Amino acid sequence: MNEWYHLAMSRNDSVHRFYINGILVGYELVNAAAGFDTTGNKLWIGVRLGTGSYFNGAVDDIHICNRALDEAQIKAWYQPYSHGPVLPGPVCLDYKFQNNTLDSGGQGYNLTNHGGTFTQDRFGNPNSAIQFNGVNQYLELSNADSLATTGELSIGVWVKPYHLPGSGQQGDIVNLGDGTYDHGFNLANGYLGVYNGFTTWSYTTPNSNAKAYDSAVLVPVNMNGWYHLAMSRNDSVHRFYINGQLVGFELTNAPAGFDQSGNKLWVGARLGAGSFFNGAVDDLHFCNRALDESQILAWYQALTSVQIPNSPGEMPWRIYPNPSHGTFAIEIKDEPTEICVMDMLGKEVYKQTYQSNTVSTHLSPGTYFVELKKAGQSLGTQRVVIY
């Protein structure tokens, strides 16, 4: 009670779908015309015509469209009217890289481009991400002293690596600080003989250095694939997330911020060290508060698009709700005989004979892939997020 929800429905001649907060939660096949052409129709809000079933609550932002929106469109409908996972603070930066390096967060922290070129983003939109050659290209905010606060912070960014750095080297993706005391992400290749893959660090004083990395290799790095990296830091712990999943942390027990002068924000390299990144970057966000795990997951999900065809006949099956707590349903017309769930490494972690459209996995939070089979033939694989 006393909370806001976004409700949406779509209906065509074959299926009626119901969404809550942009997530598909139910459907029913109808096989009948969606419209009605009788006279005397009315639109009532807060009550149903002729029933007296009055609603006790508040209503806002009602939209009616005479077409059946698909799942991606419903999610896009919801997102502009949701506050999102990142609560505003004194400083909250947002770089979309849509053919520019401007701060869309309204703070005016625009980046200077030193050679980076615009390219397709992860959805195929032209000039909507920025790429670097790994040699001498980067972005710079020359005066970032006001970002190097004595409080908390979180950073999130989408990255697409093209090539690993040389053996024993690292390519820096984001770097905030003066090159000695700083926060950021990099892609490492045996750096210091220890670090491989994506890494995040937070050096604020000589006694509060923190480095977090994917020590269990939960998310292997494939070249030319998109990944969402996020870090959060407060005075006691530094956490690292890949694709919304916690993969590493380090206790710090020291102030998260630093207030010395000469701080810069670099994208694609590290101040004073070179360490140029070879790849593409998109949707960089900075917030001066430490987001918790659920907010990081929401941050990732809000920037992840699931491509859904416009009509149910074009897609053989779908999963809902997605993300879920481990129990989800499958909408499919041609029932399979087997359901398999695999982790990010392709290891089978769950399997069952198809008995109903509801699956209860009891798996740990993370990203998985669900494959349906019929008579030994694959009906396709789809991603599911469990939190």
Same domain, 124 and 234: yes
Domain-embedded: residue 61: yes
Domain-embedded: residue 181: yes
- Give the count of beta carbons closer than 10 Å to the beta carbon of residue 123: 13
Same domain, 151 and 187: yes
- In whole angstroms, what is the distance from residue 186 CA to residue 198 CA? 6
- In whole angstroms, what is the distance from residue 362 CA to residue 90 CA? 40
Same domain, 169 and 268: yes
Q: What CATH number has the domain bearing residue 378? A: 2.60.40.3080
Among residues 277, 302, 327, the one where a domain terminates is 302
**Residue carrying the six token digits 């206790």:** 251
Among residues 286, 302, 318, the one where a domain terminates is 302
Among residues 82, 117, 145, the one where a domain terminates is 82
Total domains present in the chain: 3
Both tokens of 28, joined, read 């029913």
Angle formed at CA 320 by CA 317 and CA 324, multiple of 5 degrees: 140
Q: What is the pLDDT of residues 163-200, one digit of tens each?
A: 988 888 889 999 887 766 778 888 988 776 667 888 87
- In whole angstroms, what is the distance from residue 173 CA to residue 187 CA? 7
Q: Is 83's pLDDT higher than 60?
A: no
Q: What is the pLDDT of residues 10-66, one digit of tens each?
A: 888 778 888 887 777 777 777 777 666 677 788 889 998 777 789 999 998 788 877
- Give the count of beta carbons closer than 10 Å to the beta carbon of residue 240: 28
Same domain, 199 and 102: yes
Q: Is 205's pLDDT higher than 50?
A: yes
Same domain, 71 and 107: no
Both tokens of 161, joined, read 């690596």
- In whole angstroms, what is the distance from residue 68 CA to residue 18 CA? 12
Domain-embedded: residue 50: yes
Residue type (1 letter), 354 = Y
The pLDDT value given to residue 315: 44
The pLDDT value given to residue 14: 78
Same domain, 131 and 11: no
Same domain, 99 and 69: no
Q: What CATH number has the domain bearing residue 110? A: 2.60.120.200
Instruction: Quickly count helices (H) and strands (E) in the chain.
Output: 2, 25
Domain-embedded: residue 143: yes
Which range of residues forms the domain containing residue 224?
Answer: 92-302
Both tokens of 20, joined, read 């809550």
**Total residues found in the chain within this entry:** 387
Q: Which residues contact 236 (CB under 8 A, 6 or more apart)?
A: 251, 252, 253
Question: Chain-centre distance of CA 277, in angstroms?
Answer: 21
Instruction: Report percent pLDDT > 70 for the chain.
Output: 80
**Contacts for 107-113 with beta carbons within 8 Å, 24 or more apart?**
109/141, 109/144, 109/147, 109/265, 110/141, 111/139, 111/140, 111/141, 111/265, 111/267, 112/139, 112/140, 112/141, 112/142, 113/139
Residue type (1 letter), 361 = T
- In whole angstroms, what is the distance from residue 224 CA to residue 159 CA? 9
b/e code 331-347 from CB counts within 10 Å (16+ = b): bbeeebebbbbbbbeee
Same domain, 112 and 208: yes
Q: What is the pLDDT of residues 214-240, one digit of tens each?
A: 544 556 788 888 899 998 888 788 888
For CA atoms 113, 90, 147, 142, give the dihedral sign: positive
Domain-embedded: residue 171: yes
Phi first, then psi, for residue 312 (nearest 5°) are: -60, -25
The pLDDT value given to residue 314: 40
Q: What is the pLDDT of residues 275-303, one digit of tens each?
A: 899 999 999 988 878 888 877 887 787 66
Same domain, 104 and 65: no
pLDDT-derived band at 273, boundaries 50, 70, 90: low
Phi first, then psi, for residue 296 (nearest 5°) are: -65, -45
Same domain, 127 and 198: yes
Domain-embedded: residue 252: yes
Domain-embedded: residue 18: yes
Domain-embedded: residue 87: no
Same domain, 270 and 157: yes
Same domain, 120 and 234: yes
The pLDDT value given to residue 89: 44
Both tokens of 295, joined, read 């907010």
Residue type (1 letter), 109 = Y
Closest CA to 187 of 222, 216, 152: 222
